[in-house]
Amino acid sequence: MGSAGKLHMLYSCPFCWKVRGLLEHLDIAHEKIQVNPMKAKKTLPSAPEWKKVPVWVDSDDAVFVDSTPIMKHIDKMHNDGKLWKTDDEERRDKWMEWVDLHMSKATIPILYGSLWSALKTTTRVSKLEKFGFISKRLYAWAGFPIMWGIIARKRVKKDGRTPKKLWHDLLDEFTNEFGGKSFFGGESPDLVDFAAFGYVRSISPYPQFSQLEDHSSGMDWYNAVKATLKV
Ligand SMILES: N[C@@H](CCC(=O)N[C@@H](CS)C(=O)NCC(=O)O)C(=O)O
């Protein structure tokens, strides 16, 4: 089978992890295009209107932007929309919105919320992303005080909880919604599960992930979703 499309992405972007998990679950052949973070705004096929990753380009060159709409599009095109179909659309829509609102905001605090974690994260990101020679070094050293001092510290202070407590609360709230089942979607994961899974998985390349690993129902769910990926 030929490639279904191209995913323009950054390795460390949580929104890209959402789409990647879905592609792996559905076992869809595709190309990954890791963009240079410094050049993304100019080089993305959706630029200049949309300057964010992920961007999905279908095999017929149609361009799709924004992670949740991309997931819906891929499910529709390659899976008869089965992961989005439900008897309770109100519950699904409410929780998709909840996941996109709350989990998306919780990744920065855990990765950059203290000076030490920010340093560890930016060093790792500079190795994982396709930076140029200069920007790689610049990001590794100038990135962490910016991420920590300007962005993360404010968010942690505003929330009032430690980043670990914030994640444990989110995982409690999410898994409590399963009504005793293994997934939000019931016996098998649906698109809401894959969206949440993407945010959680985006933390997995970093040492701070261990703070999530001691949430047992959260990890039962995470590992159960992971087990459905065909990679
Ligand atoms: N709502 C978008 C958010 C995407 C997003 O913010 N991506 C970040 C990288 S993690 C980005 O490209 N930021 C560049 C910018 O905001 O200009 C989605 O879900 O795809």
Token pair of 138, please?
A: 């610049």
pLDDT at 121 over 70: yes
Task: Please give the Cα distance from 9 to 40 (Å, whole number).
Answer: 9
Class assignment of domain 5-79?
alpha beta
Output the pLDDT for position 1: 62
What does the pLDDT average to over 70-82?
A: 98
Residue bearing the CA closest to ligand 1, atom 10: 13
DSSP conformational letter for 129: S
The answer for residues whose C-beta is within 8 angstroms of residue 72's C-beta and 6 or more apart is 81, 84, 191
Q: What single-letter DSSP state applies at residue 172? A: H
Q: CA 131, CA 123: separation in Å to the nearest integer?
A: 12
- Does residue 48 have a cis bond before it (omega within 30 degrees)? yes
Rounded to the nearest integer, the mean pLDDT of the chain is: 95
Q: Which residue is it, tokens 């703070």?
A: 211
Q: 195 C-alpha vs ligand 1 centroid, how far in Å?
A: 14
Q: Which atom of ligand 1 is nearest to the CA of 68?
A: 19
| Lining residues, ligand 1, CB within 6 Å | 10, 13, 15, 51-54, 66-67
Predicted confidence (pLDDT) per residue in 160-192, tens digit: 999 999 999 999 999 999 999 999 999 999 999
* pLDDT score of 156 more than 70: yes
pLDDT band per the 50, 70, 90 thresholds, residue 149: confident
pLDDT band at 74 (very low <50, low <70, confident <90, very high): very high
For the domain made up of 89-226, give the CATH fold: Glutathione S-transferase Yfyf (Class Pi); Chain A, domain 2 (1.20.1050)
Phi-psi region of 138 (alpha: psi -120 to 50; beta: other; left: phi over 0): alpha
Best residue among 22, 52, 66 to mutate for probing ligand 1, ranked by most atoms within 8 Å of CB: 52
Structural domain boundaries in the chain: 5-79, 89-226
* Atom number of ligand 1 nearest to Cα 41: 17
What's the rounded Cα separation, in Å, for the pair 9 and 30? 12
CA–centroid distance, 72 to ligand 1, in Å, is 17
| Contact indicator for 25, 230 with CB cutoff of 8 Å | yes
Angle CA(1)–CA(33)–CA(15) in degrees, nearest 5? 100
Give the residue ranges of DSSP H helices in the chain: 14-26, 40-43, 67-79, 89-98, 104-112, 115-128, 133-146, 153-159, 163-176, 191-201, 210-213, 216-226
Residues with Cβ within 8 Å of 205's Cβ and at least 6 positions away in sequence, in order, are 12, 124, 128
